[in-house]
Amino acid sequence: MQQLQRIANREQEMLVVDLEDVAEYEKTFADLVSRIQNNTRRYVNLFSEVVDALMPMPTKDISDQDEVIDVILHQRRERNEQTEGIQEGFPNHLLRRYNLYFRPLRADIAMAVREVRGLHLGRLITVRGIVTRVSEVKPLLLVNAYTCDVCGSETFQDISSKQFTPIMDCQNENECKKNGIHGSLHMQTRACRFVPFQEVKIQEMADQVPVGHIPRSMTVQVQGPLTRLMNPGDVVHLGGIFLPIPYTGYQAVRAGLLTDTYLEAHYIHQLKKQYNDMEITPEMRAKIDQLQNDPALYTKLAHSIAPEIYGHEDVKKALLLLLVGGVTKTMGDGMKIRGDLNICLMGDPGVAKSQLLKYISKVAPRGVYTTGKGSSGVGLTAAVMRDPVTDEMVLEGGALVLADNGICCIDEFDKMEESDRTAIHEVMEQQTISISKAGISTTLNARTSILAAANPLYGRYNPKVSPVENINLPAALLSRFDLLFLILDKPTRDDDERLAHHVTHVHMYNTHPELEHEPVEPVLMRHYIALARTHRPIVPPEVSSYVVDSYVRLRKLSRDEEEQKKSHTYTSARTLLGVLRLSQALARLRFSDIVTHLDVDEALRLMECSKESLLEDAEKERDPDQSPQSKIYRIMKDMAKAGRGSGKKRKTVQSRKKRLGKGPGGERDSDVDMDEDYDDSGDEGMEEIPIVQIRARVLAAGFTEVQLNDTISAYEDLDLIARVANGSRIRFISVPES
């Protein structure tokens, strides 16, 4: 009754009858739910008649929301009151200001389109599919209104089908028929009742199509408040009445006795909601808070991406940042700066590139998976089609348009035709698609991240040939990728053995081996990312100067590599933007609104990792040791040199030349010449750093606490570091320059 009161006050348009409630409260009529399911259209009318009888009077003034039909009905009532004895009834459907819908039972299994049969006609069914085309919203005529040119009375005609015959003669018995006059009727459009109408096409999901078949589609008609709730690319469960409809016009001549079918939508359930539309329940919020407080959050979330796939830690971290994304900025003059990341995975066959792409397309709310050879330029951007409802030329969005505000995964990127690949250039930088065809000139939004996977030119990476020849992609395209990972399959006994154990475990037990961290469920990860994307981190001045210095250093390295002819990627201003986007994504992941030095360091580390696989073995030998312990020690050493810890730095020679007091050996009241006994070469960087700061930095860099403890123990044995202050600080006994 509260809902009916809101409908009477014109505050609500939908009246949803949940069949779960009917099943719960109508215990005496055990078969009422099944009757409603088997003859839904009839029960819509029955329920509407009951609602009309129960409808209360408005409790507030609604005259400001009156339509023309309300004014006519009000005038008719006043005339009836003046003319005693004559009561003209009004059809109830004229007074209805609501749409009545049935929500299916939760136990109903969503069917594929090909499973819908003739026995389902007139029944309430649930169908699962992906929305491929959505028509524009048009007004649908429900009640036609006429005015007599003789007596001026109004006549209303109920329209229930696509075709109707207009009434020509006045039916008013009081005026025209009494005087024997046949007044002609004229249609009054303002007094007619219209309802928003939209036609949607849904198609079967790929997992529902049998071998050797193509996906089938179904027409869905949506009316009233349910319009504009679906977009192309949405995966939905649609509850509605399966009904037949005869062909009309020229189609009827060609079809003969055949009849078309459609689904009259009553309930729409989005399976993969966009980040903005996600509702976070208190239970989910508690899980997110617990996850946020985890010190190894970054590593844990990265390992949760495709846990069945062995290794590729840095690639998974990059894919996690791809899901989070940077901040898209709009300038005052309308110019946009892209925030979405683009990543290319280039590698040998059998390194699970396609599986990673498939996983990302499933986790992302709007993920579209396509392959290079099977995608034309039109299939990626937009095609000009003829709308079957209005017969107008319309644009049908391709894969990049369907992935708007999502991720477009393109496999076999190297096998695309050059003409088709050019369609992606504009999308990757400007995030729009400009189209001029069939008299339509427009710009479509394609705010999508692109995740591409490609094989090297010779099938496998050829180390004897330069990287540029191996990659075989134009430089203009490569510079648009923020990260380009080259995943090489180099045979090493330990790695191969671990990989084989991992793969056989997955095949034997149908699950991944136990990880160090329990992987995060995809649903929780999606909600966590949705919350992370609400933050808009900024870059403070001190971090900004650090980014500038890092970029200048990268440019210098790039120039040196070019001179030595070892370069395979070009460091440009896009590289600088890529570092900023990665840093913002890392800050978002912590729910922070400020980018820190650590975020920039991790972004630069990922960029280095993406190039690392190309270093030849000789170069790797010249490089420092790449073991986790050496990397952690180098992080600690950098903190000591930079004085980043808020520790107690021992005063060096410059701060005190000569004084009486405690000497370096601990002696008291001795006149010590600091210039002679205090050798500043070894102790210049002597520093005590809180172990808490070291742990935070090391965990943020993707290492574990076990590796940190092993490193401290190993370097203590070498007498390079020592724990002081009851083990809460680390002191460097000597900090070597190299």
Q: What's the per-residue H, E or C state across 461-509?
A: CCCCCCHHHHHCCCHHHHCCCCEEEEECCCCCHHHHHHHHHHHHHHHHH
Strand locations in 135-234 (E): 138-148, 154-158, 185-187, 193-203, 217-223
Residues 261 and 306 in one domain: no
Distance, in Å, from the CA atom of 483 to the CA atom of 582, rounded to the nearest integer, reads 10
Residues 115 and 151 in one domain: yes
Give the HSE-up count for residue 685: Cα atoms under 13 Å, Cβ half-sphere: 20
Residues 400 and 341 in one domain: yes
> Phi-psi bin for 185: left (phi > 0), alpha (psi -120 to 50), beta?
beta
Residues 593 and 700 in one domain: no
Tokens of 606: 């990922």
In a domain, 675, yes or no: no
In a domain, 666, yes or no: no
CB of 415 closer than 8 Å to CB of 428: no
- Angstrom distances, CA of residue 210 to CA of 207, 215, 521: 8, 9, 29
Q: Residue 243, SS3?
A: strand
Of 87-96, 174-183, 678-687, which range is least confident?
A: 678-687
End position of a domain, from candidates 568, 584, 613: 613
Specify the residue for token string 């109903």: 108
Predicted pLDDT at 93: 65
Question: What's the mean pLDDT in 656-679?
Answer: 42
Parent domain of 316: 282-613
Specify the residue for token string 């319009």: 227
Query: What are 446-485's pLDDT values in tens digits?
Result: 888 888 888 888 777 777 776 677 777 887 788 888 888 8
Predicted pLDDT at 25: 79
End position of a domain, from candidates 581, 613, 645: 613
Residue 566: band (very low, low, confident or very high) from pLDDT cuts 50, 70, 90: low
Residues 423 and 566 in one domain: yes
In a domain, 216, yes or no: yes
Predicted pLDDT at 127: 94
End position of a domain, from candidates 270, 292, 310: 270
Q: How many CB atoms lie within 10 A of CB 661?
A: 11
Predicted pLDDT at 91: 64
In a domain, 660, yes or no: no
Query: What are 703-725's pLDDT values in tens digits?
Result: 888 888 888 888 888 878 888 87
Question: What's the mean pLDDT in 143-155?
Answer: 81
Residues 429 and 458 in one domain: yes
Residues 712 and 564 in one domain: no
Using CB atoms within 10 A of its CB, is residue 592 exposed (0-12), middle (13-18) or buried (19+)?
A: middle
Question: What's the mean pLDDT in 505-527?
Answer: 80
Query: What are 95-125's pLDDT values in tens digits?
Result: 777 889 999 988 888 999 999 998 999 999 9
In a domain, 674, yes or no: no
pLDDT at 548 over 50: yes
Predicted pLDDT at 28: 59
Distance, in Å, from the CA atom of 601 to the CA atom of 544, rounded to the nearest integer, reads 12
In a domain, 662, yes or no: no
Question: What's the mean pLDDT in 400-424?
Answer: 80
Mean pLDDT of the chain: 79
- Report pTM: 0.68
Residues 221 and 301 in one domain: no
Distance, in Å, from the CA atom of 153 to the CA atom of 71, rounded to the nearest integer, reads 13
Q: How many CB atoms lie within 10 A of CB 92?
A: 13
Predicted pLDDT at 302: 86
In a domain, 672, yes or no: no
Of 24-38, 376-390, 596-610, which range is least confident?
A: 376-390
Query: What are 315-342's pLDDT values in tens digits?
Result: 888 889 888 888 888 888 878 888 888 8
pLDDT at 421 over 90: no
Closest CA to 633 of 718, 688, 711, 695: 711
Residue 390: band (very low, low, confident or very high) from pLDDT cuts 50, 70, 90: low
Buried b (16+ CB within 10 A) or exposed e, 152-183: ebbbbbeeeeeeeeeeeebebeeebeeeeeeb
Q: What is the CATH number of the domain that holds 16?
A: 2.40.50.140
pLDDT at 647 over 70: no
How many folded domains does the chain comprise? 3
Q: What is the CATH number of the domain that holds 458?
A: 3.40.50.300
Residues 261 and 341 in one domain: no
In a domain, 729, yes or no: yes
Specify the residue for token string 């009434």: 167
Predicted pLDDT at 219: 93
Residues 589 and 710 in one domain: no
Query: What are 272-317's pLDDT values in tens digits?
Result: 766 666 777 788 888 888 888 888 888 888 888 887 777 788 888 8
Residues 258 and 371 in one domain: no
Residues 11 and 63 in one domain: yes
Q: What's the per-residue H, E or C state across 254-309?
A: HHCCCEEEEEEEEEEEECCCCHHHCCCCHHHHHHHHHHHCCCCHHHHHHHCCCCCC
